[in-house]
Amino acid sequence: MKIDLLGLEAFVGVAELASFTRAAEHLNLSQTAISHRVKKLEGSLGVQLFRRSHRDVVLTDDGATLLPKIKSMLAGMDAELERVRTQAVAKRQKLTLACLPTIAMDLLPQALRIFDAEHADVTVSVVDTSASEIGALVASGSVEFGLTIVAAGNHDLVTEALFSEDYVAVCPADHALAKRKQITWGDLVKEKLIRVNPQTANRFIVDQALGNRSETPNWAYEVQHTLTAFRLVREGLGLTIMPRSAVDALNDRAVAILPLSRPRISRTIGILSRRNVALSPLARDLCAAFKRKR
């Protein structure tokens, strides 16, 4: 005899609520459907489970004997199914990494698309934060690796360079400089400029490249995030300096991208990991995906 789970569920519902109508509502079924399930179960068992009247639904002796056993069996099945589900969730592998917000705009989604094609069952946790925070997270082992700006720092960490890119000027598409193929820092002297705060690696790189001229430009606005600076440019409040890949990722026709020289400023992005600590196979696969996109 096959176990009729739907019939057993209907039987318990009617028995506990003492009503076919209320049981049907509770199980989101029609009264006809639940009556059919109970009758089918009774036919399979060869016994009557309920005595029906216009007012009441009462368990027969056979029904009363069967009820606690069926409830226990169904509860056991629910518990076992939940155990299997919990184990399945626990078995899902997890990979945690950190990256710069500007990398999260462009390179990260591309690499994750490649990674997901081979590891759809892996949960990936991304901490998009500053370069200094990435270094601390990698050093502490809170993340397996980071995508950040290559720079001298902690000797317990090692960086593998991926690519280098220039910083460019970004201006509104209708700005007087927008049609230029290239500009110099001298062209920006009379322009309102927007920069990010001194705690960011991008700000440090620009200031270091400009040297004692870092305060010469007209820095009219200072913001926390590169994306905020970009939004201010769109509103016509000034120009900003951004890594080329970040501007490309935004793909916004409301702005123009201007190669910038004298001085030309660039940064190198790399994979930061702990020295003498091997990356997990999953981390190695994701790093390989980053390399494929660059």
Beta carbons of 149 and 204 less than 8 angstroms apart: no
Same-domain check for residues 123 and 242: yes
Joined tokens for residue 127: 């901490």
Same-domain check for residues 116 and 229: yes
**127 to 2, 89, 141, 202: CA distances (angstroms):** 51, 22, 13, 18
Q: Which amino acid makes up residue 226? A: T
Same-domain check for residues 112 and 236: yes
Number of structural domains found in the chain: 2
Distance between first and last Cα of the chain: 62
- For residue 195, the 8-state DSSP code is E
pLDDT in tens, 158-206: 999 999 999 999 999 999 999 999 999 999 999 999 999 988 889 999 9
- Those residues of the chain that have pLDDT short of 50 are none
- The CATH number linked to 174 is 3.40.190.290
Q: What pLDDT was estimated at residue 89? A: 63
Q: What is the dihedral of CA 207, 224, 168, 270, to 10 degrees?
A: 80
**In this structure, is residue 209 part of a structural domain?**
yes
pLDDT in tens, 270-291: 999 999 999 999 999 999 999 9
Q: What domain range is 174 assigned to?
A: 97-269
- The CATH number linked to 71 is 1.10.10.10
Same-domain check for residues 108 and 170: yes
Joined tokens for residue 103: 């990398």
Burial of 276 (0-12, 13-18, 19+ CB in 10 A): exposed
Same-domain check for residues 22 and 107: no
Q: Which amino acid makes up residue 131? A: A
Q: What pLDDT was estimated at residue 294? A: 72
Same-domain check for residues 260 and 143: yes
